[in-house]
Amino acid sequence: MFLKIRPTPESIIKTEICVKFLSNQAASLKNVIEEEPSGPSMKTSIPGPNSLELMSKLKNVYNLGAIQYIVNYEKSIGNYIIDADDNVLLDTFTQISTLPIGYNHPALMESFKNQSNLRSMINRPALGVYPGVDWPKRMENILKQVSPKLSKITPMMCGACSNENAIKSAFMAYKARERGAREFTEDEKNSSIMNQRPGCPDLSILSFKGAFHGRTIATLSCTHSLYIHKMDIPSFQNWPIATYPLYKYPLEENERENKEIDKSCLEEVEYLIEKNKNICPVAGIIIEPIQSEGGDNHASPDFFRNLQAICKKHSVILIIDEVQTGCGPTGKFWCHEHFDLPHPPDIVTFSKKMQMAGFFHSEETMPEQPSRIFNTWMGDPGKTILLETILGVMKSENLLDQVQRSGKRLYSGLEKLQNEFPELLHSLRGRGTFIAVNAHGRPLRDTIINNLKKNGVQSGGCGQEAIRHRPALIFQERHVDIYLDILRKILKEISGRN
Ligand SMILES: Cc1ncc(COP(=O)(O)O)c(C=O)c1O
């Protein structure tokens, strides 16, 4: 047993680490799974007394509204999150979908035992000005291993700032096309400083109802999931918002209707591009391959291929936001690989499971002048080192295959539950382990998620009524079975059946 800590708030801060686990150099997935607890175990209600005590210390300086409980990150391991009261929960939500190889993976722990990696991290460079001797090789490695057939990479800090700068790149590319070889005029230079035309032109990004692209100012104008994200923030009024396909499930029984939905959404996109031409031309379209925060809304490969054709026809830059879908959870490295697009997208943004954030992009979307897409750090070598390690583990452990296997089992298990409890669940959908199922209404969805937590499963919701599954890539068939057993027990209790 690796837990050796008496659960008091003091011991949580000065806790001993699990030496056996962390010093395991030849870490394979098997080792990681062997070190996990055999299943969830709950000692207190959540948040428990230790969590509450620590939260009371934060209360005066921190908005506690969204905090569920305090986590012991030294004890959390593999697919299990362990809280300050030693409650052990199977984690199907993984820090809002950001942990690709689970908690405290030994390969990640090893990364910073390497002195040169450690130095890259502690001497944090302004990468846009003073990259280290290791940086060209690291960028080359990342591009070679995972670029979605795009030749450029721009590192950033988080999902929103990756999208924010992708949007800026689309505007710059649009104007560069118009300007051709000529330099900026004096009028453009002077007017830009004062937020006026022609230096600050009327250009727009088309986004979709239900989308979530972040909470910075431009991305917020493209975000349409919850009012609470947007309230009181001025927005770009002339940026068009199209309808994202919302299909009827099961897909096999609603093919004709869903095709009609695709058609009408695509017609709307083209109509909005035309309509905006003389008001605020559309320079770019930003879209999630699966709308995640907005409720796990899927659009068909056909929809995406046609959307790309519309972009090509109207010279609009296509930005695919893979912040939540990227790095393997759908069973392919990038979700848009499922769509078989005839061309790579112009820009693909990433963050979350990648640890490193930023965007891959085409030559055309790389501005000629320096410092236009720029900030102080331009990323963080520490996060890039973690990504390199993650990619190594994904490859050596065939984690995309694991995701496909676990996804299949999870999907068929949920399908059985949906058939068994049709009064509770509907509209199962997903790719890989990136699977969601709806409850009939938000109160029921929230009850299911709360009861899962009481029974040792950390899960998450999205949209109005979806239960979303975002386990780590190391979530195996055995974890699927543990989860489904607990979910079934809860559904049975809620339905009042014996
Ligand atoms: C698709 C998508 N884009 C962008 C973001 C914003 O990322 P961040 O929270 O890192 O700014 C999110 C976050 O959930 C997301 O799901």
Mean pLDDT (the chain, rounded) = 94
Are residues 8 and 135 located together in one domain of the fold? no
Q: How confident is the model at residue 75 (pLDDT cuts 50, 70, 90)?
A: very high
The predicted structure's pLDDT at residue 20 = 38
Question: Which residue has its alpha carbon closest to ligand 1 atom 8?
Answer: 159
Q: Tell me if 214 CB under 6 Å of ligand 1.
A: yes
Answer with the one of 91, 125, 148 that is the final residue of a domain: 91
Q: Do the domain assignments include residue 249? A: yes
Indicate whether residue 50 lines ligand 1 (CB < 6 A): no
Does position 9 have pLDDT exceeding 70, yes or no?
no
Q: Catalytic: which of 93, 212, 359, 421?
A: 212
pLDDT tens digits for range 437-448: 999 999 999 999
Residue 205, pLDDT score: 98
5: pLDDT strictly greater than 80: no
pLDDT tens readout for residues 352-394:
999 999 999 999 999 999 999 999 999 999 999 999 999 999 9
Q: Which is the closest atom of ligand 1 to the Cα of 161?
A: 11
What percentage of the chain exceeds 70 in pLDDT? 94
Residue 212 a catalytic site member? yes
Which domain-ending residue is among 339, 373, 395?
A: 395
Q: Does any ligand 1 atom lie closer than 6 A to the CB of residue 158?
A: yes
Same domain, yes or no: 78 and 119 = no
- Average pLDDT value for residue range 394-410: 98
Number of domains into which the chain is organized: 2
Out of 213, 229, 322, give the residue to mutate to test ligand 1, the one with the largest number of ligand atoms within 8 Å of its CB: 213
Interval 6-24 mean pLDDT:
40
- Catalytic one of 75, 332, 352, 453: 352
Residue 492 among the catalytic residues: no
Q: Is residue 15 pLDDT above 90, yes or no?
A: no
Tell whether 376 and 254 lie within a shared domain.
yes
Examine the pLDDT at 43 and tell me if it is beyond 60: yes
Both 166 and 51 in one domain: the answer is: no
Whether ligand 1 lies within 6 angstroms of the CB of 321 is answered as yes
The CATH number covering residue 2 comes to 3.90.1150.10
What does the pLDDT read at residue 27? 56
**Predicted confidence (pLDDT) per residue in 244-264, tens digit:** 999 999 999 999 999 999 999
Is the shortest distance between the CB of 461 and ligand 1 below 6 Å? no
Q: 159 in ligand 1 pocket by Cβ < 6 Å?
A: yes
Whether 321 is catalytic is: yes
Domain boundary, last residue among 395, 426, 447: 395
Tally of residues, the chain: 498
Q: Looking at the domain assignment, is residue 452 inside a domain?
A: no
- The whole-angstrom separation of Cα 424 and Cα 411 is 16
- Residue-wise pLDDT for 455-464, tens only, equals 999 999 999 9
Q: Examine the domain organization and report whether 189 and 145 are in the same domain.
A: yes
Residue 126 belongs to a domain: yes
Mean pLDDT in residue range 266-285: 98
82-101 tens-digit pLDDT: 999 999 999 999 999 999 99
Cβ–ligand 1 distance for 210 under 6 Å, the answer: no
User: Is 21 designated active site?
Assistant: no
In a domain, 475, yes or no: no
Within a domain: residue 183? yes
pLDDT tens digits for 124-143?
999 999 999 999 999 999 99
- How many angstroms does the Cα of residue 81 sit away from the middle of ligand 1? 22
- Model confidence at 29, in pLDDT bands (50, 70, 90)? confident
What is the mean pLDDT of the segment spanning 146-169? 98
Q: Which of 99, 296, 351 to mutate to test the pocket of ligand 1 (most atoms within 8 A of CB)?
A: 351
For residues 85-94, one letter each, b for 16 or more C-beta atoms within 10 angstroms of the residue's C-beta and e for the rest, the string is: bbbbbbbbbb
In ligand 1, which atom is closest to the CA atom of 293? Answer: 16
pLDDT digits (tens, 9 = 90+) for 337-353: 999 999 999 999 999 99
**Does a structural domain hold residue 457?**
no
Domain range for 35 is 1-91
Protein residue with its CA nearest to atom 3 in ligand 1: 213
Looking at the fold, whether 123 and 85 belong to one and the same domain comes out as no
